[in-house]
Homo-oligomer: A and B are copies of this chain.
Amino acid sequence: MTQPPVDLAGAAGSLARHWSPEVVARLNDYEVKVAKLSGEFVRHRHSETDELFLVLSGTLTIRMDDGDVTIGPGEFYVVPRGVEHQPVADGEVHVVLVEPTGVVNTGDR
């Protein structure tokens, strides 16, 4: 039997807690996660990996030294490795994250 596809909006909507990503699929040595965000997260960086943020609903701003990026539904952004970033959710925001297995969401903090 094959697995059914993953419904991203449904998976994100069923999360119980904010800032607590849940793995919904694996792709080789990477994980696809959904998360729901609200408010400001701690500023941090990942020295070893890029990090992909895809917004499903709401608006996510990523504050960085070189400028902010604002990501709306259906848009994604890749934060390059080593770049300090602070995700800020304007109200409730649902996102997909793609990153190597084992990455901690607070990076160096």
Residues of chain A touching chain B, judged by Cβ–Cβ distance below 8 Å, are 1-9, 25-28, 30, 32, 49-50, 52, 54, 56, 64, 66-72, 74-78, 81, 98-100
The answer to whether B50 touches A5 (Cβ under 8 A) is no
The answer to whether A26 touches B74 (Cβ under 8 A) is no
The answer to whether A75 touches B5 (Cβ under 8 A) is yes
CA A66 – CA B2 in complex, angstroms?
Answer: 6
The answer to whether A76 touches B5 (Cβ under 8 A) is yes
Q: A26-B78, A27-B99, A32-B52 are in contact. List 11 more A-B contacts (CB 8 A).
A: A1-B66, A1-B67, A2-B67, A5-B72, A6-B76, A7-B74, A25-B76, A30-B30, A30-B98, A32-B78, A98-B98
